[in-house]
Amino acid sequence: MNLTERQRAFAAAIAAGAVPEGVDPRGMAVYANNYRAQLLACLRDTYAKTVLWLGDDAFDANARRYIDSHAPSSWTLDDYGSEFADWLDRAYPADAEVGELAWLDWQLRRAFAGPDVQPMEVRDLTADDWDRVEIDFVPTLRFRPMRSNAVALWRALADEVSPPPIVLVDAGVGARVWRQGLSPRFASMTADEATCLDLALAGASFGEICAGLRRTHDEEQTARIAGGCLGAWTAEGMIRGLRR
């Protein structure tokens, strides 16, 4: 066995809690404990608001189970825990806010570390043929449908005030996360805005977005909703540019 193979076997043994042949189990226990402690500390740091919501004991118990089945796969611990929000969704099927709080924690952390781009200015929001215009968003933008008022819960935890009661929201409501300048941002979205953003992220043109809205709204409402979304997204630094 060469050095590379020995290192890989050693790392695999630490992740599995095993003891490689010829290794003192007492020394191996030190490595294993340090390995798990570092991964737990990483999850607690990344998912800080989820820790506050679940409490230390419940969070740590879930985190340790996650660590047992999810070894790091990147050179940096910044990438560790990418599946933890989905894992919590499955662990708490009756408590939608848990996985959604974790999703906000993760996406806000990733937005902070995301690539730098220059968003377009509102004054540049012009086009010759809006029906054919597609929207190019900043790479830090993420979006998901929501089942609870997790956005309000996260904000209360961040502000160190008592969270509001858990509420299940109407179908179609969503949340978005992005970075504006150097600051990660997040916001809840109405069902109409979520529909528009979902279509835009899928590559729909502005004309196609309006056509989607016209299925449930009249012309005046469609123009107000679509135009309002486009203006707000631009003002908030979510749009990198327009393309045909």
Looking only at Cα atoms, what is the longest distance across the chain? Answer: 76
Q: At 14, is the pLDDT very low, low, confident or very high (cuts 50, 70, 90)? A: low
Q: For residue 214, name the pLDDT band (cuts at 50, 70, 90).
A: very high
Domain boundaries, the chain: 3-94, 122-243
Give the mean model confidence (pLDDT) for residues 217-237.
Answer: 96
Element (H, E) at 145: strand 142-145
DSSP 159-216: HTSPPPPP-BPPTT-EEEEEEETTEEEEEEE-HHHHHHHHHHHTT-BHHHHHHHHTTT
Segment 181-189 shows an average pLDDT of 95
**pLDDT for 78:** 86
User: What integer pLDDT is reported at residue 75 of this predicted model?
Assistant: 87
Cβ atoms 150, 96 nearer than 8 A: yes
**Is the confidence at residue 147, as pLDDT, over 60?**
yes
**Does 9 have pLDDT greater than 70?**
no
Lookup: tokens for 168: 């299940």
**Spatial separation of the C-alpha atoms in residues 171 and 146, rounded to whole Å:** 8
The DSSP code for 131 is G
Q: Say if residue 194's pLDDT is above 80.
A: yes
Q: Where are the alpha helices (DSSP H) in the chain?
A: 3-16, 25-46, 48-54, 56-69, 84-91, 96-112, 150-159, 191-201, 206-213, 219-235
Q: What is the pLDDT of residue 15?
A: 57
Judge contact between 225 and 110, C-beta under 8 A: no
Query: How many Cβ atoms sit within 10 Å of the Cβ of residue 114?
Result: 17
Query: 233-243: per-residue pLDDT in tens?
Result: 999 999 999 99
| Residue 243 to residue 34: CA distance in whole angstroms | 50
Tens digit of each residue's pLDDT (9 = 90 or more) over 74-109 = 888 889 999 999 999 999 999 999 999 999 999 999
Pairing outcome for strands 134-137 and 142-145: unpaired
pLDDT > 90 in the chain, percent: 78
- The predicted-structure confidence for 26-55, as pLDDT tens digits, reads as follows 555 545 567 889 999 999 999 999 999 999
Share of the chain above pLDDT 70, in %: 86
CA angle at 193 for the pair 89 and 120, rounded to the nearest 5°:
110
